[in-house]
Structure 1
Amino acid sequence: MTYLAMFHWGWLLGAFLIGFCMGWIAVVYRGRSVSRVWIQRLSVIAAVIVGIAIAKVVPGRFGYWLDLGLALFGFYLVGCAIGSWLRDIVVVRQQARAT
């Protein structure tokens, strides 16, 4: 993982910044939620994929791509969370000033 961070730091930063921008500009839409069954299925799939990556079951180039993809996706999700959190803070402050 250290190798990924050192060699692909630009891509990881790009994934974080894209996630930050998407979190900042995303409008919260309260549509139909995902059912509990699908949430459980997706959680199991995600846990299996992360477990495969941690156990180094997939060797060679495809294992490298799996690790890189998970790292990029993680940075993207963290960027989304931070961007939407900061936008929420800004919107709340603007609403407080307006009232």
Structure 2
Amino acid sequence: MTYLATFLWGWLLGALLIGFCMGWVAVVYRGRSVPRAWIQRLSVLAVIIVGVAAAKLVPGRFGYWLDLGLALFGFYIVGCAIGSWLRDIVVTKQQARFH
């Protein structure tokens, strides 16, 4: 992971910025929620994938891709959360200002 942060910081920053932009422009639609069973299955799958990456069970190039993909996805999700949160703050202040 240190290698990824040191040499691929530009890609990680890009994933964060793209996530920020997507979180900012995303319109919140309150549709049907995902069933609890699917949330549990996807959570178990995510834990297994992160565990495999942390234990270095996948060697070589594919292990590198797994680590890189997880890091990029993590930065993207953090960027989405920050962008969505800031957009919510801005929209809430705008609505309070005009009401």
Tell me the equivalent position of 2:96. 96
CA RMSD of aligned residues (A): 0.5
> 1:23-75: CA deviations, max 9, x gaps?
00000001111100000000000000000000000000000000000000000
The residue number in structure 2 matching 1:5 is 5
Matched ranges for 1:14-53 at <5 A: 14-53=14-53
Aligned residue type for 1:82: I
Q: TM-score, normalised by structure 1?
A: 0.99
Counterparts of 2:86 and 2:46 in 1: how far apart (Å)? 27
| Alignment gaps of 5+ in structure 2 | none
Gaps of 5+ in 1: none
Q: What secondary structure, in the 3-state scheme, does the structure 2 residue paired with 1:15 have?
A: helix
Aligned residue type for 1:80: C
For the residue of structure 2 that corresponds to 1:27, the secondary structure is coil
Structure-2-length-normalised TM-score? 0.99
> 2: distance between equivalents of 1:85 and 1:33?
20
* 1:86 paired residue number: 86
What is the percent sequence identity of the aligned residues?
83
Number of residue pairs the alignment of both structures matches = 99
Runs of 4+ off more than 3 Å: none
Q: Distance in 2 between matches of 1:88 and 1:66?
A: 33
